[in-house]
């Protein structure tokens, strides 16, 4: 589990073929590797991965073809948002995020409002029912509050700190992004479905 509060931005230094997927080497000198052990979960661009090797400057993970087929942003040379998994002693500053991407959206607008930015994203139709005004959503692993929603789009506001401390600063119209809806909505749907 994660919170969607990005703690560092790393870079995919290499993406080497491994089986049907890739072995990714992440350089993250400011991430703090002292408390990371093999087998730990780390989110890259909102996608949960398991650490298979590490050193003081970064770590390695394996990612499968199945993961690569339903996500974006895991290319060699690309900057990635990083977040270590939660411990029971951590603050929950964002919202509960599983690291299981629900779909890929496309940025339709990223407007400078003079102090903050309005980010509008076109989402897959099957996710629309899970997105609510004032609800939470993770975009490339960043926990954000939905300000407006229509049948196929939603808007969030990006403050200067979030923009500068994450890969969101690289977004422009047409950019693909990983989306994870608030898991509470999925559980509610499941419970209501069982009640008929």
Q: What is the pLDDT of residue 187?
A: 79
At 110-162, the pLDDT tens digits run 999 999 999 999 999 999 999 999 999 999 999 999 999 999 999 999 999 99
User: What average pLDDT does range 14-37 have in this prediction?
Assistant: 95
CA nearest neighbour of 148 among 172, 169, 174, 121: 121
Question: Which tokens belong to 62?
Answer: 């394996």
Cβ atoms 179, 104 nearer than 8 A:
yes
The pLDDT-based confidence of 184 (bands split at 50, 70, 90) is confident
User: In whole angstroms, what is the distance from residue 116 CA to residue 147 CA?
Assistant: 13
pLDDT at 11 over 60: yes
Q: What is the pLDDT of residue 15?
A: 97
Q: What is the pLDDT of residue 196?
A: 57
Cβ atoms 110, 119 nearer than 8 A:
yes
- Cβ neighbours for 45, distance < 8 A, ≥ 6 positions apart: 71, 72, 73, 74, 80, 81, 140, 141, 167, 178
Q: What is the pLDDT of residue 195?
A: 64
Q: What is the pLDDT of residue 193?
A: 76
Cα distances (angstroms) measured from residue 174 to each of 69, 104, 106, 121, 137: 19, 12, 6, 9, 19
Q: What is the pLDDT of residue 92?
A: 76
At 81-111, the pLDDT tens digits run 999 998 777 777 778 899 999 999 999 999 9
- Cβ neighbours for 7, distance < 8 A, ≥ 6 positions apart: 31, 82, 83, 84
Q: Taken in order 20, 61, 45, 12, is the CA torsion positive or negative?
A: negative
At 59-89, the pLDDT tens digits run 999 999 999 999 999 999 999 999 999 877 7
Cβ atoms 120, 161 nearer than 8 A:
no
pLDDT at 24 over 60: yes
What is the pTM (predicted TM-score) of this model? 0.94
């Amino acid at each position: 589990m994660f919170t969607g509060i990005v703690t560092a931005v790393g870079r995919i230094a290499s993406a080497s073929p491994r089986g049907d997927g890739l072995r990714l080497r992440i350089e993250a000198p400011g991430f703090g590797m002292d408390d990371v052990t093999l087998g730990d979960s780390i989110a890259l661009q909102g996608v949960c991965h398991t650490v298979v090797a590490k050193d003081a400057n970064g770590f390695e993970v394996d990612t499968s073809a199945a993961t690569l087929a339903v996500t974006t942003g895991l290319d060699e040379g690309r900057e990635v948002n990083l977040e270590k998994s939660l411990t029971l002693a951590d603050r929950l500053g964002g919202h509960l995020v599983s690291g299981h991407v629900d779909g890929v959206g496309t940025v339709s607008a990223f407007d400078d409002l003079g102090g903050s930015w309005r980010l509008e994203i076109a989402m897959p139709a099957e996710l629309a029912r899970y997105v609510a005004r004032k609800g939470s959503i993770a975009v490339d692993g960043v926990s954000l509050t939905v300000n407006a929603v229509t049948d196929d789009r939603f808007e969030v506001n990006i403050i200067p700190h979030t923009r500068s401390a994450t890969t969101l600063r690289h977004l422009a119209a047409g950019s693909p992004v990983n989306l994870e809806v608030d898991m509470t909505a999925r559980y509610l749907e499941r419970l209501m479905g069982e009640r008929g």
